[in-house]
């Protein structure tokens, strides 16, 4: 005989019930029992409605109406008209009793656990009756059996304990006599010896099915639900979770205890002793193999088999000097909790015995605090023990696996993964069976913790990077193009999975938790919400993804001031915006310090020489113990472009205009032409070399006339260039007469920096610089006479974007 159990979603509506029928029809060669849950959502609705009634809120009538409509509607859709009336009238009369019960609760203003069980039982009682009648009309040899006549319990209403001896006897004799091929039974409900209705706890229909399976020595127990088995983590929270094909009873039990709701924890006990396999199957994809739960784990040596979590946890700590060495404190503590029926989910005790800390359900906190404080009132008043401390809104995450005990380093990996992702661990416990390691964390960190742990333990080193891109002008849009192009390669070759979750320009911003399509991001962004820097940060922080990277492609000072917020929340920052690193030295230092403290890289390779590996090289030199003595460089791609193309056949104005139009200048070209941009770059190189320097200490010899430096708009600025054309031609002629070329040079030596236009004679390293090229000469202790030279295109959207991309990949390998 086989037992099949169908959960709430599987029977949520007529369409799904039809699927159930097809599954049952395919299995009917054997005698089967079909245990069903209430129609999806009905249990919650019944509980909510009874709460309303007991609060004397007339809105309970609306709840009742909804319940009635769900059931009557399902009958009308499933059952042929000629067979409907008897079924409708039976269900209607049940609903009338339900109404009377609710009205009773409303009048008295009370809801005892006993009455609550009676009310909530209608979910399963009605669904099983309707489904059995439907099966009959579909030519199945089906019958209905009320589980209350089979399963006997004590009177712990809401979560009753089964009298197995009696129950097994009842089930065995019923099924031995029954000749029908399909018996439909309600899950969840039972009755006490005294004949009162009881229930088996939320999710209890799984348990009903397991009890019947054990009673009749079934060949298999099939749990049909809305996912294709037991996954490495809850698939609704971890997209990358994979179905586990086979798992041991103990592992499955441990996972379900720690929140894998797919199986109600007590379910395993009855079938385990009889070694009846459980198979978890998907009603919506019946052809999927599902998960087989048996004696053997067959994990092929895998250590961690699953990751799960339980929410709604609080920590309760008892501490104080009076606890040291005094026997019996823990005993009294646990006794006090147990007398109040408070279940302890997790225990840790410091070895100094200075404190005991337990995890309990949020629902029990108030009761627990009162009773513990009362029990230790004497010690508290004499200051030997502090009043009990409470921390709420926590959750437990747990790694589970039979083989974990024989492997070192798993907890190390677990905690370092959580630490790297800035998930604060409040308490730790390892099960004595060593089948699980648990950590208590903040409720708001659960999704991030599950995903980072899943990545670390199951995803064959594929690392997911979650990008939030601000600024999609020249550089930003090129970056998105490049990511789109390289996505597949990065995934396959570098095991990096890059998702762009948020994009913003100065007008609008969008977020998509599944990743924004890089094919049509422009139109998605245009229809986004109004852009707002603070909201952008808040949203990223609230999403709380692991490996989050904020990418700044703007030139905005305001944006650069938000970096510290990101870094403090373990969100890495990649930027081509130079302002942060070249403004106040204190802020630059703070950002570097935050990056270290919060394990969140702060990378700005493109601040100097666009995509050229200048800062990275410098970092490696310093890290390996070299010391920079002198830097000479041509660092402005824009000025190089301008002076390489300027001669007596064109005007200075036209060349600058061309440079701006081709994207070689900052949005405000005075930043380049005044030398400020070069000052920022040499400043950053000096700082990265380990020197403390500020902008006002750099000597700048500007070639621009005073009036150009004082303009307020790009138009005004270009006007002054036109006006001063003879000045510019004079500078050009002087250089030409000396057979030299004009280059804007930055120098750093003996802790001092200067920038300015120089006439470079032929033969000099700088003489042959083409187009927008940059060149940097590092004179260091290891390269004293022949400098280390880096040279190449140092401006332009394409190379800048590729430099940002390289920084993002660096974070991926971090
Ligand atoms: P049913 O109504 O069929 O009893 P439940 O909602 O009780 O279904 O259980 C199925 C749900 O369990 C899934 O939809 C999934 O969200 C959740 N779940 C939690 N952890 C896991 C896991 N490790 N594997 C599979 N499902 C899980
Ligand atoms: N209907 C009950 C619940 O939702 C029992 C079950 O579905 O397993 O908790
Ligand atoms: Mg369930």
Round to whole Å and give the CA distance between 303 and 293. 17
User: Do 156 and 213 form a contact (C-beta atoms < 8 A)?
Assistant: no
Check if 641 has its Cβ closer than 6 Å to any atom of ligand 2. no
For residue 205, the ligand 2 atom closest to its alpha carbon is 8
Amino acid 350: pLDDT? 67
Residue 339, exposed/middle/buried by CB under 10 A (0-12, 13-18, 19+)? Answer: exposed
The percentage of the chain sitting over the pLDDT mark of 70, rounded to a whole number, equals 99
Whether 225 lines ligand 1, by a CB cut-off of 6 Å, is yes
Q: Where in the chain is the domain with CATH 3.40.50.720?
A: 463-591
Please indicate whether residue 261, judged by its CB atom, sits closer than 6 Å to ligand 2: no
Just list the catalytic residues: 681
Least confident of 158-162, 192-196, 298-302, 726-730: 298-302
Side-chain-facing half-sphere of 186: CA atoms under 13 Å? 27
Q: How far apart are the first and last CA of the chain?
A: 55
Which residue's CA is minimally distant from atom 8 of ligand 2? 203
**Closest ligand, as measured to the CA of 305:** 1
Sign of CA dihedral 426, 432, 437, 438: negative
pLDDT at 432: 61
How is residue 806 written in tokens? 């390289």
DSSP 385-453: SPPPEEEEEEEEEEEE-GGGGG-SSHHHHHHHHHHHTTPPEEEEEE-TTSSEEEEEEEGGGHHHHHHHH
106-123 burial code (b ≥16 CB/10 A, e <16): beeeebeeebbbbbbbbb
Res 637: pLDDT: 85
Cβ atoms 4, 32 nearer than 8 A: yes
The reported pLDDT for the residue numbered 693 is: 95
Distances from the Cα of 614 to the Cα of 465, 610, 681, 775, angstroms? 24, 9, 11, 10
Both structure tokens of 13: 């509506």
Report the nearest atom of ligand 1 relative to the CA of 280: 25
- To 5 degrees, how large is the angle CA 204–CA 205–CA 208? 95
Ligand 1 binding pocket includes 265 (Cβ within 6 Å)? no
Closest CA to 308 of 344, 354, 260: 260
Which has the minimum average pLDDT: 94-108, 250-264, 430-444, 727-741?
430-444
d(CA 689, CA 768): 27
How many CA atoms are closer than 13 Å to the CA of 516, on its beta-carbon side? 25
Strand partners, 574: 551, 603
Distance CA 47, CA 52 (A): 9
Ligand sitting nearest the alpha carbon of 223: 1
pLDDT interval class at 329 (50, 70, 90): confident
Instruction: Select from 661, 686, 705 the least CA-distant residue to 797.
Output: 661
**pLDDT score at 345:** 87
Residue tagged 């380990």 (tokens):
690
Distance 8 CA to ligand 2 centre (A): 7
Structure tokens given for 502:
């948020």
pLDDT, one tens digit per residue, over 477-506 is: 999 999 999 999 998 888 899 999 999 999
Beta bridge partners, 389, equal 317
Question: Is the per-residue pLDDT at 354 higher than 80?
Answer: no
Compute the distance from residue 55 Cα to the ligand 2 centre, in Å.
24
In the CATH hierarchy, which top-level class contains the domain 463-591? alpha beta
pLDDT tens by residue, 253-311: 999 988 899 999 999 999 999 999 999 999 999 999 999 999 987 777 778 899 999 99
Structure tokens at 634: 């041509």
Which architecture, in CATH terms, is 2-226?
3-Layer(aba) Sandwich (3.40)
pLDDT at res. 531: 96
Neighbours of 93 (CB within 10 A): 10
From 7, 16, 187, 225, give the residue whose CB has the most ligand 1 atoms within 8 Å, as the site to mutate: 225
Q: Report the percentage of the chain scoring pLDDT > 90.
A: 84
* Protein residue with least CA distance to atom 27, ligand 1: 234
Q: 804: which 2 tokens?
A: 């940002």
- Give the residue, out of 187, 189, 207, with the most ligand 2 atoms within 8 A of its beta carbon, to mutate for a pocket test: 187
The residues of the chain that CATH labels 3.30.360.10 are 614-795
List CB contacts of 457: < 8 A, sequence separation 6 or more.
304, 307, 399, 413
**Region 132-156 average pLDDT:** 97
Residues comprising the chain, all counted:
814
pLDDT score recorded for residue 651: 96
Q: DSSP characters for 555-618? A: --HHHHTTHHHHHHTT-EEEE---HHHHS-HHHHHHHHHHHHHTT--EE-GGGTTTTSSHHHHH
CA of 121 to the centre of ligand 2 (A): 10
Q: Write the residue with the smallest CA distance to atom 5 of ligand 2.
A: 203
pLDDT above 90: residue 355: no
Q: Which two tokens stand for residue 81?
A: 């008209």
Which tokens sit at 303?
């250590």
Q: Distance, CA 230 to ligand 3 centroid (Å)?
A: 12
Which ligand gives the minimal distance to the CA of 203? 2
φ and ψ of 313, to 5 deg: -110, 145
Residue 417, Cα to own-chain centre: how many angstroms? Answer: 13
392 phi/psi in degrees, rounded to 5? -105, 180
Q: Is the CB of 582 under 6 A from ligand 1?
A: no
**In a mutational test of the pocket of ligand 1, which residue from 204, 258, 262, 291 has the highest number of ligand atoms less than 8 Å from its CB?**
262
Which residues of the chain does CATH 3.30.2130.10 include?
306-458
**Ligand 2 and 40: CB distance under 6 A:** no
Q: For 635-672, what is each residue's pLDDT tens digit? A: 998 899 999 999 999 999 999 999 988 878 888 899 99
Which of helix, strand or coil describes residue 771? coil
CA 765/CA 142 separation, integer angstroms = 93
Neighbours of 374 (CB within 10 A): 10
Distance (angstroms) between ligand 1 centre and the Cα of 261 equals 5
Average pLDDT over residues 521-540: 96
Torsion, CA 186, CA 189, CA 193, CA 194, rounded to 10: -110
Kindly state the tokens that stand for 15.
């369409």
Probe target for ligand 2 pocket from 8, 116, 197, 199, with the most ligand atoms within 8 Å of CB = 8
Contact assessment for residue 265 and residue 253, using Cβ atoms and an 8 Å cutoff: yes
Residue 358: left if φ>0, alpha if ψ -120 to 50, beta else—which one? beta
- Within the chain, all domains assigned CATH 3.40.1160.10 are found at 2-226
For domain 306-458, the CATH superfamily is VC0802-like (3.30.2130.10)
Take residue 754 and report the two structure tokens written for it. Answer: 């200067």
The alpha carbon of 308 and the centre of ligand 3 are apart by a number of angstroms equal to 15
Task: Locate 293 and state its tokens.
Answer: 């739960």
User: Does residue 4 have its Cβ closer than 6 Å to ligand 1?
Assistant: no
Task: Tell me how far apart the alpha carbons of residues 10 and 19 are, in angstroms, rounded to a whole number.
Answer: 8
Query: pLDDT digits over 397-450, tens only?
Result: 999 988 787 778 888 899 999 988 889 998 888 766 678 899 999 999 999 999
CA of 43 to the centre of ligand 2 (A): 6
Which two three-digit tokens encode residue 498? 């890059």
- Predicted local distance difference test score (pLDDT) of residue 402: 81
Q: How far apart are CA 225 and CA 25, in angstroms?
A: 17
Binding site membership of 204 for ligand 2 (Cβ less than 6 Å): yes
Q: What values do phi and psi take at 248, rounded to 5?
A: -80, 160
Query: What pLDDT, on a 0 to 100 scale, did the predictor assign at position 297?
Result: 77
- Judged against a pLDDT cut of 70, whether residue 183 lies above it is answered with yes
Q: Does residue 202 line the site of ligand 2, with CB under 6 A?
A: yes
**Average pLDDT for the chain:** 93
Would you say residue 352 has pLDDT above 70?
no
Per the model's pLDDT, the better-predicted residue between 401 and 79 turns out to be: 79
Q: Which region holds residue 385: left if phi is over 0, alpha if psi is between -120 and 50, else beta?
A: beta
- In angstroms, rounded to a whole number, what is the distance separating the alpha carbons of residues 422 and 445? 9
Burial class from Cβ neighbours inside 10 Å (0-12, 13-18, 19+) for residue 523 reads exposed
Q: How far is ligand 2, taken at its centre, from the CA of residue 204, in Å?
A: 6
Confidence of residue 223 (pLDDT cuts 50, 70, 90): very high
Pick the CATH number of 614-795 from 3.90.230.10, 3.30.360.10, 1.25.40.10, 3.90.1570.10: 3.30.360.10
């Amino acid at each position: 005989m086989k037992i099949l159990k169908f959960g709430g979603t599987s029977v949520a509506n007529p369409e799904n019930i039809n699927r159930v029928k097809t599954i049952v029809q395919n299995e009917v060669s054997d005698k089967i029992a079909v245990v069903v849950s209430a129609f999806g959502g009905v249990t919650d609705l019944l509980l909510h409605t009874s709460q309303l009634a007991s609060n004397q809120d007339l809105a309970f009538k609306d709840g009742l109406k909804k319940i009635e409509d769900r059931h009557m509607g399902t009958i009308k859709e499933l059952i042929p008209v000629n067979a409907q009336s008897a079924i409708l009238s039976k269900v209607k009369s049940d609903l009338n009793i339900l109404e009377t019960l609710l009205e009773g609760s409303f009048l008295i203003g009370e809801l005892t656990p006993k009455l609550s069980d009676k009310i909530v039982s209608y979910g399963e009682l009605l669904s099983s009756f309707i489904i059995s009648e439907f099966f009959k009309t579909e030519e199945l040899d089906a019958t209905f059996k009320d589980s209350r006549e089979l399963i006997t319990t004590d009177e712990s209403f809401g979560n009753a304990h089964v009298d197995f001896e009696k129950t097994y006897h009842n089930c065995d004799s019923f099924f031995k006599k029954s000749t029908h091929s399909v018996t439909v039974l309600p899950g969840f409900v039972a009755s006490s010896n005294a004949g009162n209705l009881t229930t088996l706890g939320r999710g209890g229909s799984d348990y009903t099915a397991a009890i019947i399976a054990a009673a009749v020595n079934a060949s298999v127990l099939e749990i049909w639900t809305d996912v294709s088995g037991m996954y490495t983590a809850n698939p609704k929270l971890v997209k990358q979770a994979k179905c586990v094909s086979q798992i041991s009873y103990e592992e499955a039990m441990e996972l379900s205890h720690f929140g894998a709701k797919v199986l109600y924890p007590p379910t395993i006990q009855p079938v385990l002793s009889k070694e009846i396999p459980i198979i978890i199957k998907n009603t919506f994809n019946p052809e999927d193999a599902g998960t087989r739960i048996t004696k053997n784990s067959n994990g092929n040596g895998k250590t961690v088999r699953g990751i799960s979590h339980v929410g709604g946890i609080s920590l309760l700590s008892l501490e104080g000097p009076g606890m040291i060495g005094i026997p019996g404190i823990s005993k009294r503590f646990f006794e006090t909790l147990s007398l109040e029926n408070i279940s302890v989910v997790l225990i840790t005790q410091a070895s100094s015995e200075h404190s005991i800390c337990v995890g309990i359900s949020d629902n029990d906190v108030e009761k627990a605090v009162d009773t513990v404080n009362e029990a230790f009132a004497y010690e508290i008043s004499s200051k030997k023990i502090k009043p009990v401390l409470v921390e709420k809104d926590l959750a437990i995450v747990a790694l589970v696996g039979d083989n974990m005990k024989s492997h070192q380093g798993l907890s190390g990996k677990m905690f370092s993964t959580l630490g790297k992702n800035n998930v604060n661990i409040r308490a730790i416990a390892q099960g004595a069976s060593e089948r699980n390691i648990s950590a208590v964390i903040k409720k708001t960190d659960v999704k991030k913790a599950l995903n980072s742990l899943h990545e670390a333990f199951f995803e064959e080193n594929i690392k997911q990077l979650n990008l939030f891109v601000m600024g999609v002008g020249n550089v930003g849009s090129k970056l998105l193009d490049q990511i789109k192009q390289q996505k597949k390669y990065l995934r396959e070759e570098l095991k990096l999975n890059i998702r762009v979750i948020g994009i913003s320009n100065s007008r609008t911003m969008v977020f998509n938790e599944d990743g924004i399509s890089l094919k049509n991001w422009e139109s998605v962004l245009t229809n986004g919400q109004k852009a707002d820097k603070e909201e952008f940060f808040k949203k990223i922080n609230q999403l709380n993804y692991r490996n989050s990277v904020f990418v700044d492609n703007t030139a905005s000072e305001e944006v650069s001031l938000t970096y510290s917020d990101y870094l403090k929340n373990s969100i890495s920052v990649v930027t081509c915006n130079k302002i942060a690193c070249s403004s106040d030295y204190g802020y630059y230092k703070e950002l570097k310090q935050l990056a270290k403290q919060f394990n969140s890289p702060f990378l700005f390779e493109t601040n100097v020489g666009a995509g050229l590996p200048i800062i990275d090289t410098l970092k490696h030199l310093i890290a390996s113990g070299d010391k920079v003595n002198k830097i000479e460089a041509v660092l402005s791609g824009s000025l190089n472009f301008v002076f390489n193309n300027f001669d007596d056949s064109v005007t200075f104005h036209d060349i600058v205009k061309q440079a701006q139009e081709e994207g070689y200048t900052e949005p405000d070209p005075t930043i380049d032409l005044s030398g400020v941009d070069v000052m920022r770059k040499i400043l950053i190189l000096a700082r990265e070399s380990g020197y403390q320097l500020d902008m006002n200490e750099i000597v700048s010899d500007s070639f621009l006339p005073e009036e150009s430096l004082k303009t307020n708009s790009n138009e005004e600025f270009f006007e002054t260039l036109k006006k001063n054309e003879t000045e510019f031609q004079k500078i050009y002629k002087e250089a030409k007469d000396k057979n030299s070329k004009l280059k804007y040079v930055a120098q750093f030596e003996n802790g001092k920096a200067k920038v300015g236009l120089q006439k470079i004679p032929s033969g000099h390293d700088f003489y042959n610089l083409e187009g927008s090229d940059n060149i940097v000469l590092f004179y260091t202790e290891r390269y004293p006479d022949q400098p280390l030279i880096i040279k190449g295109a140092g401006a332009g959207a394409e190379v800048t974007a590729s430099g940002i991309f390289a920084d993002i990949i660096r974070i991926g390998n971090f």
